[in-house]
Amino acid sequence: MKEIVVSGIRPTGKLHLGNYFGAFKNFLTLQEQYDSYFFIADYHSLTTHPNPADLKGSVQRVLAEYLALGLDPEKCTIYLQSDLPETAELYLFLNMNAYLGELERVTSFKDKVRSQPNNINAGLLTYPVLMAADILIHRGIKVPVGKDQEQHLEMARTFGNRFNRLYNTEVFPEPQAFTVSQQLVKVPGLTGGGKMSKSAGEADTIYLNDEPEVLRKKIMRAVSDAGPTEAGQPKSQPVQNLFDLMQLVCNQETISFLKSNIKRDAFVMEILKSNLQWTWKLS
């Protein structure tokens, strides 16, 4: 019997480079090796109050991108989160045993409080509980998540174990973070801050269906600086972000050359961006 893998993506817009390297690239391998469930997380998207017409279009777009990138319905289960009512039922039961203090300590919730103070709804607070329901409803063992989701997965284990203990059962196994490479991936954005995110805006994000000219403009406008001025000097965060992106899409020879020459002058930043532009491809 194959182990169960569960993962989903929120339909809040087009898929981007972070979605691909953080999750989707692994999906293509996982569907060959595991009993895989990949869903479109429309319940999760409701925390940002999407227009119903926009949500429907986004769901259809994500489904099309799932299929275009290679997910095979003959090899895995693809479904819409809201089409499985048992998920909402389990979410209710798990919420009864999720405590305010532990939910308020979640890093992503605290980030949302700072970034969108006018929309701190209960769905944001209990996001980890719904994520736990998504996983536990299938008794998922392996969950391909990005580094920023590790805390949510730890809470899924907490909620599952608490349910087992309170109701004297062993119905829920402990899900574990998993990638094919066994290394969690964090894809930085282009604006020099944190991870690549649709919520950070167009300038921060490389979408999988960006036209070449749009892609060129985004990368050439990416935040950077002149780089280290002395050998061995640490890179600034924006420059390190560009190297992290290069590490995902470029060959090692190119990366080694740029690392050895970065201390020369600001022109190297333009070379770095140019290489990032022309070597980006799905691999």
| CA distances, 28 to each of 9, 10, 19, 150, 219 (Å) | 15, 18, 13, 21, 27
| Active-site amino acid positions | 112, 195, 198
Rounded CA separation 214/4 (Å): 39
Q: Strand, coil or helix: what is 196?
A: coil
CA atoms in the 13 A half-sphere facing the CB of 57:
7
DSSP state of 20: I
Partnered with residue 9 across adjacent β-strands are 40
Concatenating the DSSP letter of every residue in 69-98 gives: TT--TTTSEEEEGGG-HHHHHHHHHHHTT-
Rounded (10°) CA dihedral 115, 117, 118, 122: 100
211 and 18 in contact (C-beta within 8 Å)? no
Pick left, alpha or beta for residue 128 (phi over 0 → left; psi -120 to 50 → alpha; otherwise beta).
alpha
Do residues 27 and 36 lie in contact, with contact meaning Cβ atoms separated by under 8 Å? yes
Dihedral (C-alpha) 22, 126, 139, 154: value to the nearest 10 degrees? Answer: 60
